């Protein structure tokens, strides 16, 4: 690791040092800046302790600030750096202001240099970092989402196999959802050869196993959410259209609803705000923005279809906007439903059937 040639008696009290870190699994590329100058860059093992040791030894008494991009390593590095006295932030790679030239010349050294430069200029916005307990709860919810997708793939493979060999389920069970009776009927089905029957049994066992695991994970997830957020969970369930999965998704992915400064920031996080492109006198809306929490947006929109069948006021709101475009209307309902969910959590109260009144609902600041 190279060192900077400063006198051994140098003292850097009250001087700020800005460290850009390009994080990889096997190494970190580090650039250090201060007073508008680059005073060091090097590659080191992936260790927060090694970086802190170098900074305190080379620049004793200084105030250290660091930054790295959000990615595979999560927030563990941030926690270690913070414990060692380094003021660290994590940034979304999409929020880093970058020129076209920098996009075309991309190396680990360039990335760390640019991060350090932006950090010194204070042009970076840190992402919100969830507490470790909330991150682990969120990981359990996302595991359930992954298992649900695996089950869907297994069911589609089974249906494709049945269609290929012309097997049709009896009419009472011929639905998109494979009930226990339908699976039992398929379990007793014999195809023309033993090989075909064995293949059918493997497809069936795959579906049954994945469904069993999904049910088990869902029960465990529900118990964990009820443990961490007992009252909030009940508040959300009182809202028409919001069931167990939607309530779990909101609490696991968001946790503290007060972290959003205003309703627009909250809706933007969910991806329920319009994406506008305007220049001069021309203004065009492209629909909902692509950047969002994809785990929540689909859940909220799905819950909205159920909500308009249960809440007359939401149905009236949907019909008002569905004249122009039904898809846009359901997104508007989803935004209103999400704001209701935020309101019951922040105000710590159950859903009031008089909501919403007019185009907006009472939302705390």
> What's residue 200's pLDDT?
96
Q: pLDDT tens across 133-167, in order? A: 999 999 999 999 999 999 999 999 999 999 999 99
* Cα distances (angstroms) measured from residue 212 to each of 4, 30, 204, 352: 60, 47, 12, 37
Q: pLDDT tens across 3-32, in order? A: 555 555 567 888 999 999 999 999 999 999
> What's residue 7's pLDDT?
55
How far is the C-alpha of 106 from the C-alpha of 321, rounded, in Å? 47
Mean pLDDT of 294-310: 94
Mean pLDDT of 293-304: 94
Among 11-15, 70-74, 87-91, the least confident range: 11-15
- Residues forming a β-bridge with 91: 69, 126
Q: pLDDT tens across 262-272, in order? A: 999 999 999 99
Tokens standing for residue 361? 């609902």
How far is the C-alpha of 59 from the C-alpha of 4, rounded, in Å? 9
The answer to whether the beta carbons of residues 340 and 334 sit under 8 Å apart is no
> What's residue 363's pLDDT?
42
How far is the C-alpha of 289 from the C-alpha of 250, rounded, in Å? 19
Mean pLDDT of 105-130: 93
Mean pLDDT of 291-312: 93
> What's residue 99's pLDDT?
82
> What's residue 6's pLDDT?
55
Sheet holding 16-23, edge to edge: 37-44, 28-34, 16-23, 63-69, 87-91
> What's residue 360's pLDDT?
43
> What's residue 273's pLDDT?
85
Q: Using alpha carbons, select from 107, 80, 1, 15 the residue that is nearest to residue 45.
A: 1
Band of residue 172 on the pLDDT scale cut at 50, 70, 90: confident
How far is the C-alpha of 63 from the C-alpha of 331, rounded, in Å? 47
> What's residue 285's pLDDT?
72
How far is the C-alpha of 18 from the C-alpha of 5, rounded, in Å? 18
Q: Using alpha carbons, select from 178, 180, 179, 198 the residue that is nearest to residue 189.
A: 198
The answer to whether the beta carbons of residues 340 and 364 sit under 8 Å apart is no
> What's residue 361's pLDDT?
45
Based on its alpha-carbon atoms, the radius of gyration of the chain, rounded to whole angstroms, reads: 27
| Chain mean pLDDT for the chain | 90
Q: Please give the share of the chain, as a percent, with pLDDT higher than 70.
A: 94
The answer to whether the beta carbons of residues 111 and 22 sit under 8 Å apart is yes
How far is the C-alpha of 86 from the C-alpha of 146, rounded, in Å? 36
Mean pLDDT of 160-188: 89
Element housing 152 (H / E): helix 132-164
How far is the C-alpha of 191 from the C-alpha of 194, rounded, in Å? 7
Q: Where does the chain have alpha helices with state H?
A: 48-58, 76-83, 100-104, 108-120, 132-164, 180-187, 194-228, 230-237, 244-253, 263-270, 294-310, 312-322, 326-347
Q: Using alpha carbons, select from 13, 2, 124 the residue that is nearest to residue 63.
A: 13
Q: Using alpha carbons, select from 214, 208, 348 the residue that is nearest to residue 222.
A: 214
């Amino acid at each position: 690791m190279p060192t900077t040639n400063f006198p051994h008696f140098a003292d850097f009290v009250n001087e700020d040092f800005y460290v850009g870190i390009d994080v990889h699994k096997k190494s970190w590329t580090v650039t250090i800046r201060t007073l508008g100058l680059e005073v060091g860059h090097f590659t080191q093992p992936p260790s927060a302790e090694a970086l802190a040791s170098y900074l305190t030894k080379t620049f004793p008494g200084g105030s250290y600030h660091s930054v790295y991009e959000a990615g595979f390593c999560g927030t563990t590095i941030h926690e270690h750096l913070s414990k060692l006295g380094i003021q660290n932030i994590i940034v979304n790679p999409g929020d880093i202001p970058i020129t076209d030239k920098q996009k075309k010349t991309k190396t680990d050294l360039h990335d760390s240099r640019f991060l350090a430069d932006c950090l010194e200029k204070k042009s970076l916005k840190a992402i919100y970092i969830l507490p470790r307990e909330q991150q682990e709860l969120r990981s359990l919810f996302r595991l359930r989402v992954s298992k649900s997708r695996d089950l869907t793939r297994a069911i589609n493979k089974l249906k494709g196999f049945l269609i290929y060999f012309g097997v049709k389920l009896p009419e009472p069970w011929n639905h998109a959802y494979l009930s226990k009776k339908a699976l039992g009927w398929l379990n007793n089905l014999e195809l023309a050869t033993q090989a075909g029957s064995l293949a059918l049994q493997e497809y069936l066992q795959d579906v049954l196993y994945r469904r069993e695991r999904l049910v088990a994970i869902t029960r465990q997830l529900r118990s964990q959410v009820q443990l961490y957020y007992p009252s909030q969970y009940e508040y959300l369930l009182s809202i028409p259209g919001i069931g167990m999965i939607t309530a779990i998704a909101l609490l696991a992915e968001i946790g503290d609803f007060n972290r959003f400064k205003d309703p627009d920031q909250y809706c933007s996080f969910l991806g329920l705000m319009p994406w506008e492109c305007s220049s001069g006198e021309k203004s065009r809306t492209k629909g909902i923005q692509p950047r969002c929490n994809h785990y929540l947006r689909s859940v909220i929109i799905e819950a909205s279809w159920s909500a308009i069948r249960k809440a007359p006021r939401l149905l009236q709101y949907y019909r008002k906007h569905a004249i122009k475009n039904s898809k846009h209307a359901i997104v508007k309902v989803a935004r209103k439903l999400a704001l209701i969910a935020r309101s019951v959590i922040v105000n710590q109260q159950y859903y009031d059937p008089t909501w919403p009144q007019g185009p907006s609902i009472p939302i705390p600041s």
